[in-house]
Amino acid sequence: MLLIPAIDLKEGSCVRLKQGLMDQATVFSDEPAEMALHWVKQGARRLHLVDLDGAFAGKPKNLEAISAILQEVGKTLPVQLGGGIRDLATIEKYLDLGLTDVIIGTAAVKNPQFVREACKAFAGHIIVGLDAKEGMVAIDGWATVTEHHVADLGWQFADDGVNSIIYTDIGRDGMMSGVNIEATVKLAEAVGIPVIASGGLTNLDDIRALCAVEPQGVAGAITGRAIYEGSIDFAQAQKLADELAV
**Residues involved in catalysis:** 8, 131
Could you give the CA distance from residue 166 to residue 194 in angstroms, rounded to a whole number? 9
Instruction: With beta carbons less than 8 A apart as the criterion, state whether 179 and 197 touch.
Output: yes
3-state secondary structure of 179: coil
Could you give the CA distance from residue 246 to residue 242 in angstroms, rounded to a whole number? 7
Q: Which residues contact 167 (CB under 8 A, 6 or more apart)?
A: 130, 131, 132, 150, 154, 183, 184, 187, 195, 196, 197, 198
Nearest Cα to Cα of residue 56 among 133, 127, 139, 130: 139
